Amino acid sequence: MSLQPSTNIRTVALVGHGSVGKTTLVESLLAATGAIASRGTVEKGNTVCDFDPIEKQLGHSLQSALVSLTSADTRIHLLDTPGYPDFAGQAVGALAAADTALIVISAQTGIELTTERMFTLAGERGLCRMIVINKIDADNLDLGALVDDIRERFGKQCLLLDLPTHHAQEVVELLGHDDGDSDFASVAAAHRALIDQLIEEDDELMARYLEDGTDPSPQELHAPFEKALRAGHLIPILFVSAKTGAGVPQLLDALVKLAPNPAEGNPPPFYKTEAGVEEAYTAQPDDELPVLAHVFKVVMDPFIGKLGVFRVHQGTMRKDAQLFAGSAKRPFKVNHLYQLQGKDYVEVDALVPGDLGAVAKVDEIEFDCVLHDAHELDNVHLKPLLFPQPMQGLAVQTQRKGDEQRLFEILHKLELEDPCFTVERHPGTNETVIRGLGDMHLRSKMLRMQQQFKLELTTSEPQIAYRETILGKAEGHCRHKKQSGGAGQFGEVFLRVEPLARGAGFEFEDVVKGGAIPGVFMQAVEKGVQQALAEGAVAGFPLHDLRVTVYDGKTHAVDGKEVAFVAAARKATLEAVRAASPIVLEPVVNIEVIAPEAAIGDLTGDLASKRGHITGTQPRPMGTVAISGQMPLAELGDYQSRLKSLTGGQGSYSLAFSHYAQVSSDMQSRLASAFKPGNGADD
């Protein structure tokens, strides 16, 4: 792939709900520009982007895929993202690499759950947004009603950029046209609405238009179009049929002529931290400046090893260059520099701002890290992305003795790749629990461990991730004194605990005066406090949302030991927590169920019977309804099978963490009675 100047680069993420045709649309764009000889199909499993065997097996995109194409001397990088809610982490990560988000909507099903979420997230990240209505060749469509729904839910700034004609066999562009024969609206009226919106961005054009009524030329409208895109004052709507190719040339034309290059989009939200102060840092898309790139994806390739996939925001990254990963003191050498074309790694010599690339076999690279070649950029980082919290859990165990170490190594690799996949080890229950965003998310991980790594596992329902906290303030004290012939152990700790706001975490404060506890032992004191918080005081669950303040203590010139202060702090913390009205909290999730309208009564009744709270229902296309609500995660263990039974297999659901709530007194008593403190507990 030849090196393009940044002005000739577009970086675009295709986002939207599952099955709206994003992968097929990418195939059509690749075929239209000659990047591939012919268009593959998801059904045949021969698309460029869905190349993973498990993707083909499950029939869904599981990860973001990168491809590039060239149109009118412009290099367009496309990120095809998963639309199924279980794989939202890959779609969210792709937003950090793009200047433009193409929100793809199916003309058959309309605006769906993931569509709304990604539209909002893209706007919050400052991306320019375009809406693409796909599948306009389908029968019995009401495209006018769909456009009205888009404008009602996403805003009046959503305006038509083109229109389908001749029963969706062709698409006509509106800029530069003022007449035509549309299937559902007047081309002239849509053209006028677009012009009126754009001239509001330019006082000179507005004045001239008001004076003589002359329409600006498409060239004069380019600057106000870019300004309106950046500000979110204009969100163009385009129509395509990825299957027939209708509208694909117009979409390519819009990406080349109207989508922003790296210098025209909103600057990515970088920050620089120095001396504890965080200030905004603006990356300049200049190929002569020091290199600054952001890793938005990590792939553990079975053949090439660890692959860091990044977006270049500043400077020119070259093969054989020396780069730093974050604040690392030692650089690594870029032995090979790649651009990705689906599953293929295309080696290149250099990448400029706006390019997407990858480097392999660099241990220091992690998801979300910054790559650079100047120490002045050591502390630069990108504003963190807001990923959904993994709540669905599965306890896993190896079938063969001796595979335990392999299991942990493989799970670590999967964690590195996926920001929405976590692994927990619970010593008390001897459980290894994997957590993801849903049943299919976890099933894909299990299939990968089985097929790629040849690891056979058994699974079971995991323990719910309860937490403990406190409602009041209390003090604790412990003197740890041990004498056994030789040197003894002595450490005494006085501390107090108090609650923090829900979700605040943990704070440790040292207000000891006069060296009553020497500074050399304060780390041991904090270690003991952390041990107590990890094991819990009521029912054996980790303690959160509290402050522990150490205010006094004693040591001994000879017998003062770290181990003594660890033990004293741990016991003092447990004593204080038990006197501070401790409670158990359970995770509550937001749930959205999509199901046939006829099943709404059974579904709402079932959710209510499981301590659920219905927050709303909304009609959806094709005779379906969306039911929104909240319910405790503990009630969702068998929900997949219940939903299947209640909807005849036609229902689907998604979860998102909401908050932690106090359990009932009866449940707390049951959990507490089942708790068996470990060795050394102060009971």
pLDDT (tens digit, 9 = 90+) per residue, 609-629? 999 999 999 887 667 888 999
Q: What is the pLDDT of residue 428?
A: 56
Q: 502 in the Ramachandran plot: left (φ > 0), alpha (ψ -120 to 50) or beta?
A: beta
Phi, psi of 626 (to 5 degrees): -105, 125
CA distance linking residue 73 with residue 302, whole number of Å: 35
CATH of 270-382, one of 2.40.30.10, 3.20.20.70, 3.30.465.10, 1.20.1260.10: 2.40.30.10
SS3 at position 607: helix
Residue ranges, comma separated, of all CATH 3.30.230.10 domains in the chain are 468-580
Q: What is the pLDDT of residues 314-350, one digit of tens each?
A: 999 999 999 999 988 899 999 999 999 999 999 999 9
Domain 6-194+233-257 = CATH 3.90.1010.10:
no
Pairing between strand 624-632 and 546-554? unpaired
Q: What is the pLDDT of residue 5?
A: 87
CA distance linking residue 164 with residue 136, whole number of Å: 8
Q: Are 490 and 521 in contact (CB under 8 A)?
A: no
Q: What is the pLDDT of residue 462?
A: 84
DSSP letters spanning 234-280: -EEEEE--TTT-TTHHHHHHHHHHTS--TTTSPPP-EEEEETTEEEE
CATH of 392-463, one of 3.40.50.970, 3.30.70.870, 3.40.50.1370, 3.30.390.10: 3.30.70.870
Residue ranges, comma separated, of all CATH 3.40.50.300 domains in the chain are 6-194+233-257
| Cα 151 from chain centroid (whole Å) | 26
Fold of the 468-580 domain: Ribosomal Protein S5; domain 2 (3.30.230)
Q: Are 480 and 86 in contact (CB under 8 A)?
A: no
Q: Are 355 and 339 in contact (CB under 8 A)?
A: yes
Residues 41, 42, 43, 46, CA torsion sign: positive
Phi, psi of 334 (to 5 degrees): -80, 85
Residue ranges, comma separated, of all CATH 3.30.70.240 domains in the chain are 584-667
One-letter amino acid of 270? F
CA distance linking residue 658 with residue 665, whole number of Å: 22
CA distance linking residue 83 with residue 74, whole number of Å: 27
In our burial notation (b when 16+ CB lie closer than 10 A, e otherwise), range 7-19 reads ebbbbbbbbbbbb
Fold of the 584-667 domain: Alpha-Beta Plaits (3.30.70)
Closest Cα partner for 636 from 606, 661, 615, 658?
A: 606
CA distance linking residue 24 with residue 612, whole number of Å: 38
Q: Are 201 and 228 in contact (CB under 8 A)?
A: yes
Residue ranges, comma separated, of all CATH 2.40.30.10 domains in the chain are 270-382
Tell me how crowded residue 364 is: count the other CB atoms within 10 A of its CB.
16
Q: What is the pLDDT of residue 177?
A: 54
Bridge partners of 171, per DSSP, are 164
One-letter amino acid of 679? N
Q: What is the pLDDT of residue 632?
A: 94
Q: What is the pLDDT of residue 678?
A: 59
Q: What is the pLDDT of residue 184?
A: 61
Tell me how crowded residue 463 is: count the other CB atoms within 10 A of its CB.
17
Q: What is the pLDDT of residue 429?
A: 64
**Across all residues in the chain, what is the average pLDDT?**
91
Q: First vs last Cα of the chain: how many Å apart?
A: 68
| Cα 469 from chain centroid (whole Å) | 28
Residue ranges, the chain, pLDDT below 50:
178, 679-683
User: CA triplet 311, 313, 316: central angle to 5 degrees?
Assistant: 95
Contact residues for 196 (Cβ-Cβ < 8 A; gap 6+): none
Q: Are 77 and 12 in contact (CB under 8 A)?
A: yes
